[in-house]
């Protein structure tokens, strides 16, 4: 009975945060009632117009998901809320989890888009000096490192990518390697990655870590990256992902 009650509370929270009919009608503020906010990330969203806008977009996307996909969307939201709560008041971390859930909802038949300002806003949050920066690949959620693109190629490393692709076949995919040791793979061609340059500076951040994984299994970590040259932004999963472009990432499980 306790477990059932807990799940009822979770589902009620999901409805309140993402499913309330009046959410899409609001012009300002997030989709949830800020007077009932309980977590630090919720207070932070309530006090930031851009984060509130992303929350509204996610709410609209959730309302679009119907049928059997609804339960999948709920799983995405539970994971996203867990990751977002772990951000506390870190705006960059919150933004990255919001961008991720927008992509997740699009995978289950939602039709929503991330604003074009995400890349520039993300850089402004980094430049204010409040984002923890580390060397190497970030290991703690909300931390970032500045690194360079080391290599861009196909999934099989047989040739460098070009835009538009020449003699391209669907299974060639995309790979991105970074100087800090980060490595990402996509099963699909990604024109935005292909248009990037070797040596481009990027800000590389850890967004979330999957729960209940076997010891030593690093798969499923979500990283975000912003290209400092063109402000292209996206987040990606390691190791099996679809990688980043100006409006974010699409994941492969």
Q: What distance in Å separates the CA atoms of residue 146 and residue 133, rounded to the nearest whole number?
A: 8
pLDDT per residue as tens digits for the range 4-25: 333 334 444 444 555 444 344 3
Residue 174 shares a structural domain with residue 97: no
Residues of the chain with pLDDT > 70: what percent?
74
Number of domains observed in the structure of the chain: 2
Residue 49 shares a structural domain with residue 153: no
Pick 63 or 153 by higher pLDDT.
63
pLDDT per residue as tens digits for the range 149-207: 999 888 776 666 776 666 656 567 788 889 999 887 777 777 777 778 999 999 998 88
Report whether pLDDT(89) > 90: yes
Taking alpha carbons only, the member of 110, 109, 20 closest to residue 61 is: 110
Pick 98 or 248 by higher pLDDT.
98
Cα angle 180-115-251, degrees, rounded to a multiple of 5 = 50
Highest average pLDDT, of 41-50, 184-193, 196-205, 241-250, comes from 41-50
Half-sphere exposure of 246 (CA within 13 A, CB side): 9
Q: Answer with the one of 115, 137, 171 that is the final residue of a domain.
A: 115
Residue 135 shares a structural domain with residue 110: no
126 phi/psi in degrees, rounded to 5: -70, -40
Pick 192 or 33 by higher pLDDT.
33
Q: Which domain holds residue 226?
A: 124-251
Report whether pLDDT(33) > 60: yes
Residue 40 shares a structural domain with residue 65: yes
Residue 152 shares a structural domain with residue 234: yes
Residue 142 shares a structural domain with residue 227: yes
Half-sphere exposure of 13 (CA within 13 A, CB side): 17
Q: Answer with the one of 115, 147, 177 that is the final residue of a domain.
A: 115
Q: Answer with the one of 53, 86, 115 that is the final residue of a domain.
A: 115
Which residues are registered as beta bridge partners of 235?
224
Residue 85 shares a structural domain with residue 106: yes
Residue 99 shares a structural domain with residue 143: no
Task: Name the average pLDDT for the chain.
Answer: 79
The pLDDT assigned to 108 comes to 93
Q: What distance in Å separates the CA atoms of residue 169 and residue 5, rounded to the nearest whole number?
A: 50
Residue 217 shares a structural domain with residue 237: yes
Residue 24 shares a structural domain with residue 91: yes
Contact 110, 62 (CB under 8 A): yes
Residue 86 shares a structural domain with residue 147: no
Pick 175 or 64 by higher pLDDT.
64
């Amino acid at each position: 009975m306790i477990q059932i009650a807990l799940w009822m509370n979770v589902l009620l929270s999901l409805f309140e945060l993402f499913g309330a009919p009046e959410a899409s009608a609001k012009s300002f503020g997030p989709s949830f009632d800020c007077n009932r906010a309980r977590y630090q990330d919720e207070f932070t969203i309530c006090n930031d117009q851009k984060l509130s806008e992303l929350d509204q977009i996610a709410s609209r996307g959730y309302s679009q998901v119907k049928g059997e996909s609804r339960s999948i969307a709920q799983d995405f939201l539970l994971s996203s809320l867990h990751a977002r709560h772990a951000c506390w008041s870190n705006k960059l971390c919150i933004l990255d989890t919001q961008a991720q859930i927008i992509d997740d909802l699009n995978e289950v038949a939602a039709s929503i888009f991330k604003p074009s300002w995400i890349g520039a806003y993300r850089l402004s949050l980094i430049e204010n000096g409040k984002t923890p920066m580390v060397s190497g690949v970030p290991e703690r959620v909300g931390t970032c490192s500045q690194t360079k693109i080391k290599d861009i190629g196909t999934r099989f490393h047989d040739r460098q990518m070009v835009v538009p692709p020449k003699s391209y076949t669907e299974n060639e995919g995309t790979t991105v390697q970074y100087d800090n040791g980060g490595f990402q793979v996509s099963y699909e061609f990604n024109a935005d990655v292909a248009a990037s340059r070797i040596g481009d500076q990027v800000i590389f951040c850890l967004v979330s870590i999957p729960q209940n994984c076997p010891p030593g299994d690093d798969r499923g970590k979500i990283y975000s990256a912003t290209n400092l040259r063109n402000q292209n932004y996206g987040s990606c999963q390691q190791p099996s992902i679809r990688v980043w472009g100006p409006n974010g990432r699409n994941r492969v499980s």
